[in-house]
């Protein structure tokens, strides 16, 4: 590539375009100045000084972005925030100052910055934002990132969501791909409007009555059906027809995304929209919102992520664009941390450190010796208490999966003081190393052997499910044929279907679920979500019964481990043998805000409750535990149990 093809329009090729903006009833014209960045493969047009992408020219298409959308509304960063106790606000992030950060023969980085001035009080977003784009010669795509900063003297505020959105050209992009299995032709945005679609009780869910593409008639569309755990994602996008172009968002790292590896994310949805989510609260709720106090300073680099573009002229090879994008993701991961990023706040390889160790589990009721914690997750996070990495949103997190022996090396860690967190499939609870560790630049910190001692008092009397922080090992019903998304018909992700909460009553029409330990099968007899029962038009509390046999009672305290994969607005009561006040052993109200039931998830915020049961409440022989979802009147509340275990008193 020569420098004649890589150029920034700068001032010389600034073009002026007009966009019409309607504010109230005043229609006024907004003049947009633009810069053009071109490396011979990709040409970006970016509004100046706002930093909004108005056009991406590639692969024979003059603009991949939705030309029917207002120019301010095609490729943009946005944010949801509020002043403490104030209303949720939504706004686009826009620069007010444009500069070329680095222009060399084969590399261009541009900046669109808006600086928050604490000395002018007001109700503006108290954040300095620097939006950056990088184009490199010979690279089929471009890099995006944003540096968010709170200088000293900022007022308090809450950050709920930050992301970058691309709206792609509607008449061309119909095929979406987010994993090998999850790929499909998507509806058109018009299909979600009242004359073509019928909104169901969850507002995001629309039954396609008369879609433009008749093949989709009768299916349900809902963007949350295409959510994914951070740990499973990394590349998602769309393929257009005529010409055939792939548009892919690639995350080379998840360090800058909040909530750790199990945090779920929107990826792509009807629009056609392609999202780069950095910060959000979906599937966890308000606990996840980052609260900043008055005067609290902060800085975080969101990204860079890569927008990769590929194309083919051979229709029969269109699917190869996805395979090629997956390959490209692996290449980006190898390049991480990128060497070509100019911001001093983005640290390169030499400025980062690593941590190595080996994780074991000690549970004397499972094994007399330490068990290597294979295929477990270990992470460094600023979160200070066990498990709270799930709601940690301000700092970077660095996670890795251990090998079969429990070994791990966490690389490319930004220097700082971290908690060493983790969890081990097959065991309840959260690991947190007692002392925090300090990672410094260029260091290889040896953590040595770490031992997780999960909560455990006595021998197992019985257990239901498998502890992996999801409700995956339970019964997920078939979807009501009225509400199918065909993608999930023969899928391990059956739970993504709409309306499964109502299937509970369809499966148990007369009475609530009864599970008999040793007889019932969790995969068949334990509904994956403890929801309300439908009674005519009402939703009423439901009480599940676990029947079990104890040969001889040991005097003391039995322990019930309630390992919960997710909860939404649930009032849970646990009784032993009789539903009355004397035999109530546990109660919690309004548990959870994950919205997992209505958003078709299988997990949310993980929680473990350990409940004491006095042996005096139990009898030799047959016993039962009642789990009551006591909140009535709520179709979409529910608890997703991960695992339950009854332990005898310590011996």
Ligand X SMILES: *[C@@H]1O[C@H](CO)[C@@H](O)[C@H](O)[C@H]1NC(C)=O
Binding site for ligand X (CB under 6 A): 80, 88, 90, 102, 104, 107, 140, 160-161, 230, 257-259, 263-266, 277-283, 310-312, 317, 320-321, 324, 340, 342, 358, 403-405, 407, 448-449
Residue 146 Cβ vs ligand X, minimum distance, rounded to whole Å: 14
Q: Which residues are CB-neighbours of 366 under 8 A, at least 6 positions away?
A: none
Nearer to ligand X, 326 or 547 (CB): 326
Residue 221 Cβ vs ligand X, minimum distance, rounded to whole Å: 16
DSSP result, 21-33: EEETTEEEEEEEE
Cα within 13 Å of Cα(210), Cβ side: 4
Nearer to ligand X, 283 or 548 (CB): 283
In the chain, what is the straight-line distance between the N-terminal and C-terminal CA atoms, in Å? 74
Nearer to ligand X, 242 or 342 (CB): 342
Nearer to ligand X, 248 or 526 (CB): 248
Residue 138 Cβ vs ligand X, minimum distance, rounded to whole Å: 10
Q: Using alpha carbons only, how large is the chain's radius of gyration in Å?
A: 27
Residue 553 Cβ vs ligand X, minimum distance, rounded to whole Å: 38
Nearer to ligand X, 211 or 259 (CB): 259
Pair 470, 565: CB distance under 8 Å: yes
Nearer to ligand X, 9 or 604 (CB): 604
Tell the residue number behind the tokens 């006591």, with chain if given: 630
Closest alpha carbon to 474 in 535, 414, 564: 564
Residue 346 Cβ vs ligand X, minimum distance, rounded to whole Å: 12
Residue 149 Cβ vs ligand X, minimum distance, rounded to whole Å: 18
Q: Which residues are CB-neighbours of 189 under 8 A, at least 6 positions away?
A: 170, 270, 271
Pair 54, 133: CB distance under 8 Å: no
Angstrom distance (rounded) from CA 32 to CA 435: 54
* Alpha-carbon distances, residue 238 vs 113, 217, 235, 579 (angstroms): 30, 21, 10, 53
Structure tokens at 200: 């169901």
Residue 544 Cβ vs ligand X, minimum distance, rounded to whole Å: 29
Nearer to ligand X, 138 or 621 (CB): 138
* Cβ-count burial 611-643 (b if 16+ within 10 Å, e if not): bebeeebbeeeebbbbbbbbbeebbbbbbbbbb
Per residue, what are the HEC states of 590-631? EEEECCCCCCCCCCCCCEEEEEEEEHHHCCCEEEEEEEEECC
Residue 316 Cβ vs ligand X, minimum distance, rounded to whole Å: 11
Pair 576, 583: CB distance under 8 Å: yes
Pair 604, 596: CB distance under 8 Å: yes
Residue 321 Cβ vs ligand X, minimum distance, rounded to whole Å: 5
Nearer to ligand X, 124 or 549 (CB): 124
Pair 288, 125: CB distance under 8 Å: no
Residue 134 Cβ vs ligand X, minimum distance, rounded to whole Å: 9
Residue 313 Cβ vs ligand X, minimum distance, rounded to whole Å: 9
Closest alpha carbon to 190 in 216, 164, 166, 165: 216
Nearer to ligand X, 46 or 359 (CB): 359
Nearer to ligand X, 407 or 491 (CB): 407
Angstrom distance (rounded) from CA 72 to CA 69: 8
Pair 420, 447: CB distance under 8 Å: yes
Nearer to ligand X, 194 or 448 (CB): 448
Residue 473 Cβ vs ligand X, minimum distance, rounded to whole Å: 23
Angstrom distance (rounded) from CA 648 to CA 651: 8
Nearer to ligand X, 174 or 358 (CB): 358
């Amino acid at each position: 590539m020569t420098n004649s093809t890589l150029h920034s329009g700068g001032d010389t090729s600034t073009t002026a375009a007009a966009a019409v903006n309607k504010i109230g009833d005043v229609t006024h014209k907004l003049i947009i100045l633009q810069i053009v960045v071109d490396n011979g493969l990709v040409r970006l047009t970016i509004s100046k000084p706002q930093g909004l992408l108005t056009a991406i020219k590639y692969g024979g298409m003059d603009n991949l972005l939705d030309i029917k959308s207002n120019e301010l509304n095609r490729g943009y960063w946005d944010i949801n925030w509020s002043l403490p106790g104030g209303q949720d606000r939504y706004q686009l992030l826009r620069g007010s100052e444009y500069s070329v950060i680095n222009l060399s023969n084969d590399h261009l980085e541009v900046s669109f910055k808006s600086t928050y001035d604490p000395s002018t009080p007001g109700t503006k977003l108290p954040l300095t934002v620097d939006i950056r784009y990088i184009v490199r010669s010979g690279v089929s795509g471009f890099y995006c990132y944003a540096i968010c900063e709170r200088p000293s003297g900022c007022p308090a505020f809450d950050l709920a969501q930050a992301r970058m959105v691309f709206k792609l050209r509607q008449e061309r992009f119909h095929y979406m791909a987010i994993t090998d299995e999850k790929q499909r032709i998507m509806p058109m945005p018009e299909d979600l409007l009242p004359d073509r679609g019928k909104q169901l009780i969850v507002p995001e869910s629309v039954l396609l009555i008369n879609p433009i593409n008749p093949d989709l008639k009768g299916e349900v569309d809902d963007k949350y059906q295409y959510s994914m755990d951070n740990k499973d994602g990394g590349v998602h996008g769309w393929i257009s027809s005529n010409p055939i172009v792939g548009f892919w968002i690639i995350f080379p790292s998840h360090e800058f995304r909040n909530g750790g590896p199990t945090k779920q994310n929107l990826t792509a949805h009807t629009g056609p929209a392609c999202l780069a989510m950095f910060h959000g609260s979906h599937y966890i709720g308000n606990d996840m919102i980052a609260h900043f106090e008055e005067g609290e300073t902060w800085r975080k680099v969101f990204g860079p992520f890569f927008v990769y573009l590929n194309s083919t002229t051979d229709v029969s090879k269109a699917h190869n664009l996805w395979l090629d994008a997956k390959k490209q993701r692996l290449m980006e991961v190898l390049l991480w941390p990128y060497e070509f990023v100019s911001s001093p706040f983005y640290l390169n390889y030499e400025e980062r450190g690593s941590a190595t160790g080996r994780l074991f589990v000690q549970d004397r009721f499972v094994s007399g010796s330490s068990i290597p914690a294979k295929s477990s997750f270990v992470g460094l996070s600023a979160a200070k208490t066990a498990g709270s990495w799930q709601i940690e949103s301000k700092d970077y997190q660095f996670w890795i999966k251990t090998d079969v022996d429990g070994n791990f090396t966490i690389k490319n860690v930004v220097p700082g003081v971290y908690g060493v967190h983790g969890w081990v499939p097959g065991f309840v609870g959260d690991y947190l190393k007692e002392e925090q560790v300090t990672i410094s630049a260029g260091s290889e910190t040896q953590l040595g052997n770490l031992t997780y001692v999960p909560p455990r008092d006595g021998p197992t009397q019985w257990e239901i499910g498998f502890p992996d922080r999801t409700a995956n090992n339970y019964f997920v019903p078939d979807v009501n044929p009225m509400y199918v998304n065909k993608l999930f018909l023969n899928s391990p992700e059956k739970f993504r279907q709409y309306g499964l909460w109502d299937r509970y009553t369809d499966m148990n029409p007369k009475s609530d679920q009864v599970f008999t330990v040793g007889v019932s099968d969790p995969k068949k007899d334990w509904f994956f979500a403890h929801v309300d029962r439908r009674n005519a038009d009402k939703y009423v509390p439901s009480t599940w019964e676990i029947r079990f046999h104890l040969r001889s009672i040991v005097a003391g305290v039995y322990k019930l481990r309630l390992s919960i994969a997710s909860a939404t607005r649930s009032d849970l009561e646990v009784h032993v043998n009789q539903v009355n006040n004397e035999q109530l052993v546990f109660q919690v109200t309004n548990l959870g805000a994950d919205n997992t039931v209505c958003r078709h998830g299988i997990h949310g915020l993980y929680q473990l409750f350990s409940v004491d049961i006095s042996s005096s409440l139990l009898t030799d022989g047959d016993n039962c535990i009642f789990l009551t979802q006591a909140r009535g009147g709520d179709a979409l509340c529910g608890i997703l149990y991960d695992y339950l275990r009854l332990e005898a008193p310590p011996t």
